[in-house]
Amino acid sequence: MRSPLPLALASLVLLWTAVAGAADAPADVVYRGGRIYTANAGDDIVEALAIRAGRIVYAGSDAGVGRFTGAATRTVDLGGRTAMPGLVDGHMHPLEGGSLLLKCNLNYEALTVTQLQARIQACLDATRSEEPDGWVEVVSWFQQNMLPAGVATSRATLDALATSRPVIVRSSFGHTVLANSRALALARITRDTPDPLGGKIAHDAAGEPTGILEDAAFEVFDTLVPKPTPAQDVAAARAALAALARQGVTTFLDAAAQAESMAAFHAVQHSGGLTARAHFAPPILPPEAGHLDAAIARIVAFRKRYDQGPIVAAPRLTVRNAKLFLDGVIAGPSFTGAMLEPYLVNAGTETEPRWQAGPSRGPAVYFPAPALKAALIGLGRAGIDPHMHADGDRAVHEALDAIEALRSALPGKDIRPAIAHDEIVSPDDFARFARLKAFAVLSLQWGKPASDTVDGLRDYLGPARARILEPSGLLAAQGAAIAYGSDWPVDPLDEWFALKVGVTRTNAADAGPKYAGRLGADPGLTRLQVLRAITIVAARELHADDVSGSLETGKLADLIVLDRDPFTIPAEEIAAIRVLQTVVGGHTVYAAPGFGN
Ligand SMILES: [Zn+2]
């Protein structure tokens, strides 16, 4: 009788050979000759990567990658160029961003009145078939940046255009619309129309509406301008994905996902065009505070319908976040950020100002504290990560209190709560982020001197708070996990400018002397910190770090090749970095003209 041992041994050897053979089987693609920042735990830089079936099978030296090169392996010689993990954007609004790209888009540019008119006329001329009644929506108008500074616009600016169509121009800040006379007439806005609650209709000396409408005053257009069709949503999703691929973004979170957004990206995936990993955070709205069970059930239903399970090489849809708005924005004239101390008001005159505490600390946090705690615990039980909008220090404080309640109700459960924006945080709360394992999701580009951070804001916040505006470095120094989120299209999609500001805390050189220098007392982040914020830390925020966010054996091959090295160029030049190639799951989704592959 034969002993079973040799047989077992023989199959073991066979098995071992098979495994070892797989490990050394030829890769589909090999990158070599590069400076490849891995964003692994040691922040290692390697020379070479091997990719098979969308995954990284080797990260190391050029000498070591040779054994993965077979007859069919494609080799990319990086020629000393830098590569790094694909960018993970932990907070944006991609469907809105994509839809803006398809509209008449002024692209946040500084324009004279004549240039503004010429740009809009060009849009009109390109869509002549929509005369005489089709609405024209002009977007991304940087109203505060018109040339010369302070120049006024009115409906006459738009009435001069060669069109019969109703025209509205939306400011990039989102608080102003300029309408032509046709649009005002269709909205029935006349000299006698009263200001709506929370809105303002500007009038000229003769009492006629100028066409400038603030906040609630332009909500009337929501019902007049036709809603996008599903086909237009799909076109917007495609436009967004193309823009993201060019920037190097391989994973994103839609931070207030409507059903239309999930449906549109799902449709794009169906036709083979999903070129980034799409995460969605459907919102729970403040009126739902009274019936949270139903609200959480709605999020879970979205997950059932759209979440596609484990993240694999081909991009999928993931629904494991929910969005909660806790307040508005600290910027004037809104003052809707919930603050611990009052906003200051000028008790003096314009020439002799005397700033003192006013009556307002902003609104009550949009969810009462007990409801917010119950919401987080309920989401935690359902395995959903809460993603909170909190701009003022009281909103941030109450968000942290709710996370504390979540942690004590569900100790040890792997829930990853995030607090987005954090423009003002009480220094007493800095250390709580690390202690409670709360992610600070920051739009690093906000941390610079600009019209929204300097003009007026220093006055109504007071010097103590203005010093610590946008506290990225201060939070990081206390151990907070800083993830990057662009908040596109609140700002233009420009991840590299944002990373530059994260390091320098300065505006662009052409912003002018008014906005020269650094913002506040915050030390900013190191290059490593900003690069980790937009790769591995944001992947952790999205529960995707087991498969992405760094270039390590076994992870998915999401990577980008850059035209220069963010570690060695002057910090200001980080804004000028261009992506040469974007790869998602081993598949090239963008290549700059001239970058051979
Ligand atoms: Zn947002």
In the chain, ranges of CATH 3.10.310.70 domains: 98-223
Compute the distance from residue 93 Cα to the ligand 1 centre, in Å. Answer: 6
Compute the distance from residue 228 Cα to the ligand 1 centre, in Å. Answer: 20
Compute the distance from residue 575 Cα to the ligand 1 centre, in Å. Answer: 22
Q: How confident is the model at residue 20 (pLDDT cuts 50, 70, 90)?
A: very low
In the chain, ranges of CATH 2.30.40.10 domains: 7-86+554-591
User: For residue 432, how many other CB atoms are within 10 A of its CB?
Assistant: 20
- Give one DSSP letter per residue of 169-223, joined into a string: EEETTSSEEEE-HHHHHHTT--TTPPPPTTEEEEE-TTS-EEEEEEEGGGTHHHH
Strands 82-85 and 559-562: antiparallel
**Left if phi > 0, otherwise alpha if psi is -120 to 50, otherwise beta: which for 353?**
beta
Q: How confident is the model at residue 150 (pLDDT cuts 50, 70, 90)?
A: confident
List the beta strands (DSSP E) in 306-438: 317-319, 321-325, 344-346, 355-357, 385-390, 418-421
**pLDDT (0 to 100) of residue 19:** 43
Q: What is the CATH number of domain 7-86+554-591?
A: 2.30.40.10
**pLDDT (0 to 100) of residue 10:** 47
Compute the distance from residue 491 Cα to the ligand 1 centre, in Å. Answer: 10
Asked if the model's pLDDT at residue 585 lies above 50, the reply is yes
Q: How confident is the model at residue 8 (pLDDT cuts 50, 70, 90)?
A: very low
* Buried/exposed 14-53: b ≥16 CB within 10 Å, e otherwise: eeeeeeeeeeeeebbbbbbbbbbbbbbeeeebbbbbbbbe
Quick one: tokens of 319?
A: 């629904």
How far is it, in rounded angstroms, from Cα 26 to Cα 365? 57
Compute the distance from residue 255 Cα to the ligand 1 centre, in Å. Answer: 6
**Which range has the worst mean pLDDT, 190-199, 502-511, 571-580?**
190-199
Q: Which of 113, 121, 104 is nearest to 161 (CA)?
A: 121
Compute the distance from residue 547 Cα to the ligand 1 centre, in Å. Answer: 25
How far is it, in rounded angstroms, from Cα 383 to Cα 475? 27
Summarised one tens digit per residue, pLDDT across range 373-427 is 999 999 999 999 999 999 999 999 999 999 999 999 999 999 999 999 999 999 9
Compute the distance from residue 454 Cα to the ligand 1 centre, in Å. Answer: 21
Compute the distance from residue 2 Cα to the ligand 1 centre, in Å. Answer: 70
Q: Which residue has the higher pLDDT, 278 or 172?
A: 278
Compute the distance from residue 327 Cα to the ligand 1 centre, in Å. Answer: 12
φ/ψ of residue 389, rounded to 5: -85, 115
Q: How confident is the model at residue 144 (pLDDT cuts 50, 70, 90)?
A: confident
The answer to whether the beta carbons of residues 214 and 175 sit under 8 Å apart is yes
Compute the distance from residue 324 Cα to the ligand 1 centre, in Å. Answer: 11
Quick one: tokens of 551?
A: 């270039």
Compute the distance from residue 100 Cα to the ligand 1 centre, in Å. Answer: 15
Summarised one tens digit per residue, pLDDT across range 32-79 is 999 999 999 999 999 999 999 999 999 999 999 999 999 999 999 999
How far is it, in rounded angstroms, from Cα 89 to Cα 539? 9
Compute the distance from residue 486 Cα to the ligand 1 centre, in Å. Answer: 8
Compute the distance from residue 222 Cα to the ligand 1 centre, in Å. Answer: 20
Compute the distance from residue 29 Cα to the ligand 1 centre, in Å. Answer: 37
Q: Which residue has the higher pLDDT, 175 or 341?
A: 341
Compute the distance from residue 356 Cα to the ligand 1 centre, in Å. Answer: 31
Which parts of 228-368 fold into alpha helices (H)?
230-247, 259-270, 292-306
Q: Which CATH number fits domain 98-223: 3.30.565.10, 3.40.50.2300, 3.10.310.70, 3.20.20.70?
A: 3.10.310.70
Compute the distance from residue 490 Cα to the ligand 1 centre, in Å. Answer: 7
Summarised one tens digit per residue, pLDDT across range 74-133 is 999 999 999 999 999 999 999 999 999 999 999 989 999 999 999 999 999 999 999 999
**pLDDT (0 to 100) of residue 179:** 98
Compute the distance from residue 319 Cα to the ligand 1 centre, in Å. Answer: 17
Compute the distance from residue 527 Cα to the ligand 1 centre, in Å. Answer: 24
Overall pTM > 0.75: yes
Compute the distance from residue 46 Cα to the ligand 1 centre, in Å. Answer: 35
Residue 456, CA distances (Å) to 176, 270, 464, 518 in order = 18, 49, 14, 17
Instruction: Report the chain's mean pLDDT, rounded to a whole number.
Output: 93
- 483: DSSP letter: E
**Which range has the worst mean pLDDT, 133-147, 286-300, 493-507?**
133-147
Compute the distance from residue 166 Cα to the ligand 1 centre, in Å. Answer: 29
Compute the distance from residue 172 Cα to the ligand 1 centre, in Å. Answer: 14
Summarised one tens digit per residue, pLDDT across range 183-218 is 999 999 999 999 987 788 999 999 999 999 988 899
Q: Which of 231, 280, 290 is nearest to 256 (CA)?
A: 280
The answer to whether the beta carbons of residues 287 and 295 sit under 8 Å apart is no
The answer to whether the beta carbons of residues 514 and 506 sit under 8 Å apart is no
Summarised one tens digit per residue, pLDDT across range 429-488 is 999 999 999 999 999 999 999 987 887 788 899 999 999 999 999 999 999 999 999 999
φ/ψ of residue 419, rounded to 5: -115, 115
**pLDDT (0 to 100) of residue 322:** 98
**pLDDT (0 to 100) of residue 387:** 98
Compute the distance from residue 158 Cα to the ligand 1 centre, in Å. Answer: 30
How far is it, in rounded angstroms, from Cα 417 to Cα 376? 9
Compute the distance from residue 487 Cα to the ligand 1 centre, in Å. Answer: 5
Range 151-174 average pLDDT: 94
Compute the distance from residue 258 Cα to the ligand 1 centre, in Å. Answer: 13
Compute the distance from residue 346 Cα to the ligand 1 centre, in Å. Answer: 31
Compute the distance from residue 436 Cα to the ligand 1 centre, in Å. Answer: 23
How far is it, in rounded angstroms, from Cα 307 to Cα 164? 46
| Percent of the chain scoring above 90 in pLDDT | 87
Compute the distance from residue 62 Cα to the ligand 1 centre, in Å. Answer: 42
Compute the distance from residue 305 Cα to the ligand 1 centre, in Å. Answer: 24
Summarised one tens digit per residue, pLDDT across range 251-309 is 999 999 999 999 999 999 999 999 999 999 999 999 999 999 999 999 999 999 999 99
Asked if the model's pLDDT at residue 11 lies above 80, the reply is no
Q: How confident is the model at residue 595 (pLDDT cuts 50, 70, 90)?
A: confident
